[in-house]
Every structure is written in C-alpha cells, then in structure tokens.
Amino acid sequence: MKNAHIKMIYPKISIITPNFNGGDYLEETIKSIIDQDYPNLEYIIIDGGSTDNSIDIIKKYENHLAYWVSEPDNGLYHAIQKGLEKSSGEIMAWLNSDDIYHKKALFTVAEIFTNCKPVKWLQGLPTTIDEKGRTIATEKFKSWSKLDYYLGKFEWIQQESTFWHRDLWLQADSKINSNLKLAGDLDLWLRFFRYEKLYVTSALIGGFRQRSKNQLSLDHLDKYLIEARSQISLEIENNLTVTDKKALENIIRYSKKINSSNNRISFYINRKKYGSKINFLREKFFKAPPTIVFDRSTQSFILNKVSI
C-alpha cells in the first residue's frame, strides 16, 4: 500500500467537558468522544453541581473518565480551568456539554500534530449541528492570521474544532481568563497568537450545537462582542511587539487612505499605491501559515505548499 510507510502514533489527548444542568445533550457529547475509541484519551468532566439528570449520565460513563467532579464553581471558564489543571495530555481541548466531535476526529488531530511538525495549534472546518444532532451548516475554509484579530475580524475561530499542544498552553500562562463571562476562548487565542500560528484543515473535527433557546453564546452575542473587542484592544496596547504594533499602525493608516478616496479614480490610484504596502506588511509580519490538506496518494494529512 502507498501509505504503508506512515506510522500512526497516538499522543495523549486531554478533553475537558464543563457542564451545569446540561443533561439534555450531555450523553450525546460524551458518546461523541468515547465512541471514537481513541487509544490514548484522557477525558475529564467538571460539573458545576447540576440538579438535573447530569450526574446519572456521568456515572453511567465514569469508567471511561480519567476524572470527574460535581461541585459549585464560578462559571464556565473556572470549570474549564479546573479540568485543564487536572489534565496531563500532550494535546489539549475542551468540548462543551452540548457540542460534539465528528467521527474519527481525534485520530485526525493526532495524525496532524504528529506528522505536521510545525503545528502547535489547530482548527478544523467549523460546522454547526441542530438540536437533533444533524450537521446543518459548514463554514468556508479559511486561513487565519493574528492580523485578523488585531483588525477586529475575529468571526470565528471555532472553539469546538480547536486543539493545541501543551507547550503552547504553558507559554500562554496555562490559564483561561475566568474573569471573562463570554469571550474566554478569544482571550486564549490572543495569547496563543503571541507565540504560534493557527493551522487549519478542511477536515471535520467539532460541531457547535445551535439551540432554539437558553444558549449563552448566541443569546448574549452583543455582550460577547463588547467583551471581545475590549480584550483585543488590551492585547494591542499591552502585548504587541514594537515591530508588530508599528506594522499594524501602518496597515490601518494605509487602509484609511484608500477608504477616504472621494471618487472612483482616486480610489483605484490609492489602492494601487497603498495596497502594495499593506500586502508587504501582511506578508512580512502577519503571514498566515500553510493550510493542512488531505493527500489522496498517501491517505494522510500534509502541509500544503501555499497558503490560501
């Protein structure tokens, strides 16, 4: 076989599921993880003292768990932090108690981290599921640069499809900002961007469940955006390198010159004049990494030769 030379390695993957009264979907979430039969899984559930049927569901599957606890906490990100502190895997992620992983997702993640050596941070193709567990939408395949975030174009790195290496977690202070109510994931991505690039693959990894009601992330989207933009401003002000900050300032300044053109002719002139400068700065300071694509001949994931 053409891919016989590829040796599969199974690094330990730690998954944290935070839960509070999420019994309606918790079992489906758990099964999406353990039914993958990944041989080196560390699965941890942190329950916030649920009063529904969550504890019965957790106990049903506790033989598959490395650790679980049910006790009051200070919210979603505090629960995730507690779980991550208990973890020991080389690769890390969390999956909320109404979301899912797609079939063989953990094997895909393990293969990419093992065979694509530069990868320390990975996102799959974002997908959405409904209350019945049907995949109802996929997003356009796109690459990410930290510049997108600095310019406020952060919609969305999908948390459900995102995994990272423990080395990066340690570099980024080993914490989720539990002072935030909604944008703790975005704050973590900002800190990851200080050290690594985000690699993306077109493979399906995680699915975000879109519910008709009682969904924190969608019901309070306006508050999320306020929190997100505040964290981005703080990151730019306090943590950008001098060179990155200067490049960002110039990109914003050149973009304003293009957009301030008062007629079509001046717009095209300014776009030609300043567009090349913007592209140079993007390429030098904020270049997105190669994408990860599936190679038919070897039946494996490889780094693409060019970015998109």
Question: Is residue 199 a part of any domain in this protein?
Answer: yes
Is residue 150 one of the residues assigned to a domain?
yes
Domain interval for residue 73 = 13-234+287-303
- Kindly state whether residue 276 falls inside one of the protein's structural domains: no
Q: Is residue 54 part of a domain?
A: yes
Total domain count, the chain = 1
Rounded to whole angstroms, what are the CA distances from 308 to 98, 123, 236, 288, 297?
32, 15, 25, 8, 22
**259 part of a folded domain:** no
Q: Name the DSSP letter for residue 159.
A: G
Judge whether 249 lies within some domain. Answer: no
pLDDT at 6: 52
Residue 254 lies in a domain: no
pLDDT at position 306 is 59
Specify the CATH number for the domain of residue 107. Answer: 3.90.550.10
Q: What is the mean pLDDT of each run of 10 residues along the chain (308 residues)?
A: 58 98 97 98 98 98 98 96 98 98 98 96 97 95 95 95 98 95 96 98 96 78 94 97 97 94 88 94 96 95 75
At residue 213, the pLDDT reads: 82
Structural domain contains residue 44? yes
Could you identify the residue written with the tokens 């077109």? Answer: 202
- Residue 262 is predicted with a pLDDT of 85
CA distances in angstroms from 252 to 40, 179, 280, listed in the order given = 46, 30, 13
